[in-house]
Amino acid sequence: MLKITFIKNRKYMMFSLHNSVKFNLTALSVLILTACGSGGSNSSTNHHATPQQTSNQSSKILQPNPHNHTGGYTLINRRDKEKIHPLTNIDINKININDENIDIMLKPSEDINSPWAIYSQSNRDIIICCEKYSSTRFGIIDSPNESIPTYIFYNGKPTQSMPLGKASYSGEVIGGIGEYNKKTGYNSGISKFDVDFDEKKLKGTLTIKNIKPVHIDANIQNNTFTGTATSDAFKSDTKVEVQGKFFGENAKELGGIAESHDDSFNAAFGAQKQ
């Protein structure tokens, strides 16, 4: 698990990792039937059959509608009418928020045992996961004071052709409850998802340190999924929006955000296909 605790005007980071198509070709016969009779004759007729192809459902490819959003971000602890904003950055090592270019490269962390990249840049603390992801970035861009927004984000290279069938994903998450970035620090954890591409459904669980499990239920449209999250840790009237995308070839990765409308919960997550 990873935890980052804030103390006025200074920051101390404490982190620890918790982690055939089978194609049958049948030989086709070209039958030439010539019938000759004493009472007349029929012209010969050629019958050409086209071979049929069959494919395994799990490898069949669907083409999603074009969509230029590559990810999304939200502001932590700030009231915002549009809760999750779109990102349109093709370069996964850089994002542009409010005309500000922010590098999100996977630089070495101070903790060699942590998969998270944690470093300072332009008076911000950058917390990004993880080197094992080739097509996805997600994490937190933290500000030193309340005059500069803190962002939680996900971004990547969206999947261009979606598979069918079912798949399981496992990965990481970072986030917390309420004013966590000022009081209790950021907590990391694990994320797990079960995806049914045929039924266009995604279900998952975010297990974050010191928070009861957060359950995700979402619908898939093209390479994007949207839905809601619930948890016994939330107040009864708390509504948590979930948004994410599938990234990389054959939807090998996913990333997303879970964000409450009352700003009491925020999390960024990612996962790899198992």
pLDDT at 56: 39
At 163 the three-state DSSP class reads strand
Mind listing the pLDDT tens digit for each residue in 41-71?
A: 444 444 444 444 333 345 555 554 445 799 9
pLDDT at 267 over 60: yes
A 10 A CB-CB count for 45 gives 10
Indicate the pTM of the whole model. 0.76
Range scoring the smallest mean pLDDT among 21-25, 140-144, 189-193, 197-201 = 21-25
Structure tokens of 262? Answer: 């009352």
pLDDT at 261: 78
pLDDT at 168 over 70: yes
d(CA 259, CA 4): 20
d(CA 169, CA 3): 24
At 172 the three-state DSSP class reads strand
Mind listing the pLDDT tens digit for each residue in 86-123?
A: 999 989 999 999 888 899 988 776 666 678 988 888 88
Residue reference for tokens 């997550």: 269
d(CA 110, CA 14): 10
Region of 193 (left: φ > 0; alpha: ψ -120 to 50; beta: rest) is beta
pLDDT at 172 over 90: yes
Mind listing the pLDDT tens digit for each residue in 222-253?
A: 999 999 999 999 988 889 999 999 999 999 99
pLDDT at 184 over 70: no
Q: How many angstroms separate the most distant Cα atoms in the chain?
A: 109
Domains of the chain: 2-19+59-273 (2.40.160.90)
The average confidence (pLDDT) of the chain is 78
d(CA 141, CA 121): 10
